[in-house]
Structure 1
Amino acid sequence: MIISWSMLIFQNNFSFNMILLNKLNNYITMIMMIIMILIIYLNMFIFFNKFNNKMMIENNKMEIIWTIIPLLIIILIIFPSIKILYLNNEFKINILSIKIISNQWFWYYEYLNFNNKFNSYMMYNKNFNFNLIETDNNMIIPFNMSIQLILTSMDVIHSWSIPSMNIKIDTIPNQLNNQIFKTNKPGLI
């Protein structure tokens, strides 16, 4: 699936990490929907209740429940997200290293394992379908192999990303940023 305006879902997954993030997003959405349905139900129950005394001055039992339930919900969200965070930064073997240097109007790519270098310039698109996204030379990466990106900038801060693989790295002058990823599907990303 290609990027489009007002897109409400993720792109097609091209990495294992993006599959896990998609599952985490569905999991958190399910928890939020359960909470919203519960709140709507309780509000309707209170609104249509025929009891006259609706004032509660103090109720320790309710306060304990109001404290423990959000804590449990946060714990239910924290553990899967920490697992995904650590899986994303896990060191992998069989690494192909690619050095990427950003310049104001182009990207410089260097495959360190193969001594291959090229520049990639933005393509001018008259119909503005993928304005500022498409380039004349695409970075080619092997399927099912760990890739290490080493990024920096020559002039100003730039942003390098592959949304369908959950990769977005800011390139900053005089600073090296590092990212390791692996594709699980072949294709033009």
Structure 2
Amino acid sequence: MKTFKNSYLLMRHGESEANVAGLIVSDPAIGCTRFGLTEHGRMQVVVSATRYAGKPINAVICSDFLRTTQTANLLVATLALPMAQIDIGLRERFFGDWEGKSDDHYPDIWRMDQDPERQMAHRIETVERVRQRGLKVIEKLEQARQNEVIILVSHGDMLQILLTAFVGKAADQHRSLAHHAQADIKALVTRTDL
């Protein structure tokens, strides 16, 4: 098993306007400027953050989508942490032809996760590419930091796909993992000597 220099926590963004509207919003041209958190989503983030009050957290790294930057900024404000940093490697998975359509299509997309050619035909970002993006974020942090607790704020598919690399599952098995609820914070890697 790989030894890590830092501890990592995963946080999914709070409820967003896209969640409430039942829309797939994965294009950065749209998601970085629109479909931020709902009032309920903001409350979810504050509630989750307060559970970590007094615990050591050194950095918050987030996707550049509006719903994740708002989540990260609320987390930072609630816990009086250093300003969140953006890493586009944590962006939402791109859902191609399903962009802007009903989120009822997610099961259809996930069924295609074992068929990269079919995904590419629909311009869907493959699970392996998503996983590699997430792992690169961690690799960069491992090179730049040491003995820190870092929260990665991202999106449901990104976080579940990234988690597969740490639990010994293929990336296309991400839906077999426990659902990552909105605004929930989960441990990914915990250094016992921190």
Decide: shared fold, TM above 0.5.
no
- Which structure's relative contact order is higher, taking Cα pairs within 8 Å and 6+ residues apart? 2
Decide which structure has the larger Cα Rg and report it.
Answer: 1
Question: Relative to total residues, which structure has the larger strand share, 1 or 2?
Answer: 1
TM range (shorter): under 0.3
Question: Relative to total residues, which structure has the larger helix share, 1 or 2?
Answer: 2
Q: TM-score normalized by structure 1?
A: 0.27
